[in-house]
Amino acid sequence: MLENPSLSTARTLAEEATGRGLTPHDLRTTACGLIPKMHALLMAAGEARSVSFLAHAHMLHEITNALGSGGGWEMTVLARDGEALIVFTKSERHDDLLHLV
């Protein structure tokens, strides 16, 4: 699910994440190998109910195509000012017929 909520312009997305109790992996400086790195962090999540990332908003199309369909995670995105906070929450669904993340 993609969202574009009206966030306070005084708060960065990192501050917004902290206010929501999240500690996102900051991947804003990662371009090459972004998807494999995100996938590895999701697979290493263990018992965590959610995993969050900060990334450049222009990478959302690639991230959504690679990680945003099916699987054991539901993806929520907050985007603003060229940046994105991507939150993956473990899904209660068990219908992963395509074996995606």
The residues, ordered by sequence, that sit 6+ positions from 68 with a Cβ below 8 Å of its Cβ are: 75
Distance separating alpha carbons of residues 82 and 71, to the nearest angstrom: 27
Q: Within a domain: residue 54?
A: yes
Q: Within a domain: residue 64?
A: yes
| Least confident stretch, 36-40, 71-75, 94-98 | 94-98
**Tens of pLDDT along 42-88?**
999 888 899 999 999 999 999 998 887 657 888 999 998 899 999 99
Domain range holding 72? 47-81
Q: Within a domain: residue 72?
A: yes
Q: Within a domain: residue 42?
A: no
The overall average pLDDT reported for the chain is 82
Q: Within a domain: residue 57?
A: yes
Domain count within the chain: 1
Q: Is the pLDDT of residue 99 over 70?
A: no
pLDDT at 91: 81
